[in-house]
Structure 1
Amino acid sequence: MKNQKRSMILLFLLIIVALSGCISYSVKADKIVEDGLIINSISFGLGESEEDAGITVVTYNLNLRNRTNKSIMLKTVEPIISKEIQERLIDRDIKLDINEKIDGDTSEELTGTFKLDTKELDKEGIIKLNIDVKEFNIAFEQVIGMNEVNN
């Protein structure tokens, strides 16, 4: 009788451990869906404009990853830059119009440029501007339907 009671308690504990493992897994899966669109890498470079020696061209590259299992329609990408850099922009519209589909669990390489007025600055002055592109405003559309399990 005592062994049977121990066996029942042990079985009950094993069921609880198994269920807690399932609950933990579903929380992790939900977190991945929330972070569905991420930037894997960003790089940028500075160069002098071929047309005008007083203009610096900033080129940025980013690798955008769709970690969800659904396709999205990427509309626009716009670098977030400091107020000081914004004041030096030659063209205020630095938004990239993409309008491309990114399938689920794939990456897309994007490249953009913007030009800065740096006529009165030497090389050191341009470096001191601290031109750094780390964040982006990204606009996209995603088609979402009823969950088939709930139908």
Structure 2
Amino acid sequence: MKKKIKGVSELKNQKRSMILLFLLMILAVSGCSSNSVKTDKIIEDGLNINSISIGLGGSEEDEGITVVTYHFNLWNRTNKSIILKTVEPIISNEIQERLIDRDIRLDINKKIDGNTSEALTGTFKLDTRGLDKEGIINLNINVNKFNVAIEQVIGMNDVNN
């Protein structure tokens, strides 16, 4: 009788071991496939912004004008050079209505090599007459997205020639 109980116990342990091994294999395969998806996504991303900083200041010319200065690093994550034509910050409609000069696009026309970054700085002026410091802060001036125009020269791969 004891022999029979020991055999059933060993069979249960083997079954548990097989299930555990099967689950570990599934986990390993799913981990590998999700990593490859993430890697593919990174390769597809051509341009990225590493960091952005924004500064607000008064204008020396006029008390009712706030100067917004933004600085960011644009990283070319591809292996190919690009020509950065223009950069324009995307701002809210409320902020657009307060612009002193509507043309806030930066003309860059500069080559950025692959796997390098370029520091870019721009400014625009806002009409903030009648607002105190708290009122200006409440405008929620946020510059974190940009329209970027690039030019890239491409050709046939050497393998295809």
Please indicate, yes or no, whether the TM-score normalized by the shorter chain is above 0.5.
Answer: yes
- CA positional deviation for 1:120: 1.1
Equivalent in the alignment of 1:11: none
Q: 1:77 to 1:49 in 2, by over 3 A?
A: same
Q: Give the greater-gyration-radius structure (CA).
A: 2
**Cα offset for 1:37?**
0.7
**Counterpart in 2 of 1:8?**
none
1:31 to 8, 25, 41: 41
Once the two structures are TM-superposed, the CA of residue 27 in structure 1 deviates from its matched residue by 6.2
Amino acid at match of 2:49: I
CA shift for structure 1 position 49? 0.4
Counterpart in the other structure of 1:87: 97
Counting matched residue pairs gives: 130
> Residue 149 of structure 1 aligns to a residue in which SS?
helix
**What fraction of aligned residue pairs are identical, expressed as a percent?**
80
Where does 1:10-49 land on structure 2 (aligned, <5 Å)? Answer: 30-49=40-59
- How far is the alpha carbon of 1:29 from its aligned partner? 5.7
Shift of 1:36: 1.3
1:64 counterpart (74, 85, 105): 74
Residue 73 of structure 1 aligns to a residue in which SS?
Answer: strand
Q: Shift of the alpha carbon at 1:32?
A: 3.2
TM-score, normalising length: structure 1: 0.80
Instruction: Tell me the equivalent position of 2:24.
Output: none
Pairwise CA RMSD of aligned residues? 2.0
Which amino acid is 1:135 matched to? K
Question: For structure 1, which runs of at least 5 residues remain unmatched after alignment?
Answer: 1-22
Larger fraction in helix: 2
Deviation at 1:26, TM superposition (A): 7.7
* Shift in Å, 1:55: 0.1
